[in-house]
Structure 1
């Protein structure tokens, strides 16, 4: 009996000590954002699963906002604090579909101690295809997951989270952004700096990927796209909706034209304008999109461009001769699209 007890102690004590160490380190670094403490060794957080991480932030920490920002990874690079006069939370996540907007907003409304007054949405053209917008995706599985019993306790002893915590610790210790998207503890996204050769290589890779996966023969405009936008608007009649298009590089815009999607782009803008009454269009050849230094891959812009987007939106619709960002309405869309077509002709080699 004594030997059995000794065996149990010898076997289980190291396991308990190891699990305790993992749990303590996971809590200290908090890679899944379930606790919220902030210090110099966890102020760089890699993007593991933004849907889960940001939903944890909404559910487990103090959440009091009047504005929600929705969109894909492009919109994630916009600093929520740049929208002066608003208390904004950037709930954008990787590859967000327009059909997810509703459940994201519902969850935020349920958790916020303030009334959500407005939603700012970054619209991506490539998400208007049947391939990218027809699946009935939602946040529901994540809502259920983060509300499970012992969810946070299980995370504390997770070896996967321990691996992410080590990466976060190293980045924070070195005070460097070594991944393409890294967050601080205030939900602000940063991007790894690249040199000119890397940016060019990344851009060429993205162009080929968009040719193969999103444009050309793989692209078919979703005839129900406008219907889905209308449904979202109808479900939230008391919320002000501010929409903008995300600015891809002129190189990628040229690829869109070469693959035969210019008419689809124009239809997309018309549908958005028709539903929301107007849209801040940044997706056309302009001073920002023509400069590859504003992108790390021609597809995602650096955060400083996000600052310019926020500044332009804050100025409101009536800004004549804006060099970056044109507010388009039903009354102006025809003339705007003619201008875009003229600018697009200048891109041709």
Structure 2
């Protein structure tokens, strides 16, 4: 190829690449900048949940977060503003999809490196201790940058052809009226199930079907999140490191286990995971006291409090945080949540064993 042709190609690329980046930045298919929102053009976007690290870490370097909410997606659906009502300051929700403990630990250390965190609300999740749980690609690709506390740039996201394809899809779906709302994160880290909310408002949301679908997602023997569950002591050691860091650095710590829908709670036993579930709770209380919201109680027994088998609706944040922060003014739901200490752990587990009911998990999985 002649020098002239190389120069022409180079000149075209120099022109095209910035234009592609600008186009992607304006369309903003994943909702990273929200700079230009035009109805029937780009107002309904793709989910940004596949870019948790790239989306959330830049928010953390702003040095403005006093409170940190840490855990899996189960804490992600909790309302940051309720936490701020009790604790003051600004709150960031550091929930992680595929929330294996090493991801949560790295996210915590990144957050405290850039922020003067005074309070940590930590929803410790049983599924996070499965050493065989596959790590999400976003974390695998970027974990070394997270551990090095590097700043993140999204320029590469705007300058690639995959994003260009997604931008074109977003425009096409918005113009045709076929775009559907999807799960997304807010700049404060909260997650919102916009897809569920949209279906609910249209009267097309089938709650029981969605519960069954998620029970399959968790408990399918071959592909479920709990399949091939192998409890990791090393992952619990990371919890201990977080607790110790909070003690050394005067960070107030509030630990809880999220309230699973009662069918999900029963399914843990039906799937043969009860011994590991109880081991998880015993090991956790050796490190810190915590509030256990699992079991059969006034919140978990009402499926209308949930979007699926494990994610509460945002309206239930008040009940969770009122119990967690020992709000003496808050009344009702006396049976919701047990404060667990080394002195009552065995009694608590014994009482919970009496709450389990046999369900036909195989039938549920087939119907899902």
Residue among 155, 158, 171 paired with 1:156: 158
Give the C-alpha shift of residue 64 in structure 1.
0.7
Query: Structure 1 pair 101/76, CA: closer, same or farther in 2 (3 Å)?
Result: same
Query: Structure 1 pair 146/70, CA: closer, same or farther in 2 (3 Å)?
Result: same
**Cα offsets for 1:101-122 (capped at 9, x unmatched):** 332122112222xx11222111
Query: Structure 1 pair 319/297, CA: closer, same or farther in 2 (3 Å)?
Result: closer
Q: Report the counterpart of residue 22 of structure 1 in structure 2.
A: 20
Q: Report the counterpart of residue 363 of structure 2 in structure 1.
A: none
Between Structure 1 and Structure 2, how many residues are aligned?
331
Residues in 2 aligned to 1:32 and 1:56: alpha-carbon distance in whole angstroms: 15
Query: Structure 1 pair 142/38, CA: closer, same or farther in 2 (3 Å)?
Result: farther
Query: Structure 1 pair 77/331, CA: closer, same or farther in 2 (3 Å)?
Result: same
Q: Report the counterpart of residue 355 of structure 2 in structure 1.
A: 343
Give the C-alpha shift of residue 50 in structure 1.
0.9
Q: Higher mean Cα deviation, 284-293 or 38-47?
A: 38-47
Residues in 1 aligned to 2:43 and 2:186: alpha-carbon distance in whole angstroms: 8
Is residue 202 of structure 1 aligned with residue 210 of structure 2?
Answer: yes
Q: Report the counterpart of residue 120 of structure 2 in structure 1.
A: 119
Residues in 2 aligned to 1:63 and 1:33: alpha-carbon distance in whole angstroms: 22
Residues in 1 aligned to 2:266 and 2:162: alpha-carbon distance in whole angstroms: 41
**Cα offsets for 1:5-37 (capped at 9, x unmatched):** 9x949x966x66654543234333545676575
Is residue 330 of structure 1 aligned with residue 328 of structure 2?
Answer: no
Query: Structure 1 pair 76/25, CA: closer, same or farther in 2 (3 Å)?
Result: farther
Q: Report the counterpart of residue 271 of structure 1 in structure 2.
A: 283
Q: Report the counterpart of residue 366 of structure 2 in structure 1.
A: none
Whether the aligned pair in 1 keeps the contact of 2:54 and 2:154 (CA below 8 Å) is no
Q: Report the counterpart of residue 78 of structure 2 in structure 1.
A: 78
TM-score under structure 1 length normalisation: 0.77
SS of residue in 1 equivalent to 2:132: helix
- The correspondence of residues 270-349 of structure 1 with structure 2, limited to 5 A, is 270-276=282-288, 278-315=289-326, 322-345=334-357
Residues in 2 aligned to 1:55 and 1:20: alpha-carbon distance in whole angstroms: 25
CA-based RMSD of the aligned residues comes to: 3.9
Query: Structure 1 pair 152/190, CA: closer, same or farther in 2 (3 Å)?
Result: closer
- The correspondence of residues 1-349 of structure 1 with structure 2, limited to 5 A, is 8=8, 19-30=17-28, 37=35, 46=47, 47-59=49-61, 62-83=62-83, 84=85, 85-112=88-115, 115-132=116-133, 140-143=143-146, 147=151, 151-165=153-167, 178-179=181-182, 181-191=183-193, 192-193=195-196, 194=199, 198-209=206-217, 210-212=219-221, 213-215=224-226, 218-236=228-246, 237-238=248-249, 239-276=251-288, 278-315=289-326, 322-345=334-357
**Cα offsets for 1:122-180 (capped at 9, x unmatched):** 1111222342499xx886334369647xx443333223334455677777x98x9622x
Residues in 1 aligned to 2:79 and 2:14: alpha-carbon distance in whole angstroms: 42
Query: Structure 1 pair 39/208, CA: closer, same or farther in 2 (3 Å)?
Result: closer
Whether the aligned pair in 2 keeps the contact of 1:246 and 1:282 (CA below 8 Å) is yes
Whether the aligned pair in 1 keeps the contact of 2:307 and 2:313 (CA below 8 Å) is yes
Residues in 1 aligned to 2:166 and 2:334: alpha-carbon distance in whole angstroms: 43
Give the C-alpha shift of residue 87 in structure 1.
2.0
Q: Higher mean Cα deviation, 320-329 or 254-263?
A: 320-329
Whether the aligned pair in 1 keeps the contact of 2:71 and 2:124 (CA below 8 Å) is yes
Query: Structure 1 pair 152/260, CA: closer, same or farther in 2 (3 Å)?
Result: closer
TM-score under structure 2 length normalisation: 0.73
Give the C-alpha shift of residue 81 in structure 1.
1.9
**Cα offsets for 1:54-80 (capped at 9, x unmatched):** 113224xx3311111111122211222
SS of residue in 1 equivalent to 2:255: strand
Residues in 2 aligned to 1:285 and 1:43: alpha-carbon distance in whole angstroms: 38
Residues in 2 aligned to 1:57 and 1:327: alpha-carbon distance in whole angstroms: 33
Whether the aligned pair in 1 keeps the contact of 2:93 and 2:188 (CA below 8 Å) is no
SS of residue in 2 equivalent to 1:274: helix
SS of residue in 2 equivalent to 1:89: strand
